[in-house]
Amino acid sequence: MKPFLKFSFVYLCLSISFSTQNQTQAQDSLSQVIDSLYIEEVENDKTPDKVLHAEPLYIDLIRDLGARKGEKEWNVGLGLTDKLDYDEYELLVEYEWAPINRLGLEVEVPLTFSFRNNPEFDDTQPPSHRVESLKTAVQWSFFVSEKLKTSMALGYLNEIEFVDLNAMTNSTILQGNVSNPFFVIAKRWGNNIHTLLYTGGKFTRHFEGGNTDFSYQNNFSFHYMIPSTRNFIGLETNQVFKNQNSYVTLRPQMRISLADNLIVGIVAGIPLERKNERLSSFVRLIYEPSHKH
């Protein structure tokens, strides 16, 4: 190859390389700008200050951390769990709102329906269908720092448990009461990496007999928010300590924005020990009536 042709070939290769590198850098810069604008919209478009965090989809929060007055949200959840001898279907309807800045309230009614896996070959009697409980909760964000990209909150969830539907009478409707104080801390690393810890104890008082059970839960989540969107992928780890035993379920998940005020979350459940249940799935539909773009 002649020297001139060699020089031209080398120059062409270098030009293509630099051009590709410049395009990649330009795309990365544009993505960072769009991410920064979206974060700016969430955090600084209104007062008081608020940090953008990715919220877990299975054990969700009582309104956003750093909630602002007037925010509200409807949730409808559908779940399916393989309980070895039977399948359990879960339906929940939940409403959460912020009456004042930093304070979130929630009301939820969960229902479960149980069916045998193989009704033709298995005579195992599954649990009765249930209106599980009436849940009410409050959450106060006492620390919000845009500089540290960190928020912390204290909360309390109360759950009035009902008896099975086929056991309800005028004199017997309530089965027990669950008290669940909890603590939440969340941090965003850069623009796209989100971590959150939700932890607290559960005190379950059974009205019949008067005894009280105690369990403790640690729920840690890690999410990556897709640049320039509200969508994310991540992993939620639910750990429960009860009766000197530990139960852990991994929940890979993703959130997809269908519209400006409508989001769907998809969750899979993978228990590390399959003594009581196998795989599960859960879908959460989130609607924000007053959300503004």
Q: Can you tell me the distance from the alpha carbon of 50 to that of 150, in angstroms, rounded to the nearest whole number?
A: 9
Say what the pLDDT of residue 45 is: 61
pLDDT band per the 50, 70, 90 thresholds, residue 274: confident
Q: What is the pTM of this model?
A: 0.82
Residue pLDDT, tens place only, 65-123:
999 999 999 999 999 999 888 899 999 999 999 999 999 999 999 999 998 877 665 66
Residue 152 has pLDDT above 50, yes or no: yes
Q: Tell me the mean pLDDT in the region 120-147.
A: 87
Residue pLDDT, tens place only, 232-241:
999 999 999 9
Percentage of the chain beyond pLDDT 90 is 64
What 3 state SS string does 10-79 have? HHHHHHHHHHHHHHHHHHHHHHHHHHHHHHHHHHHCCCCCCCCCCCCCCCCCCCCCCCCCCCEEEEEEEE
The H-or-E segment that residue 147 falls in is: none
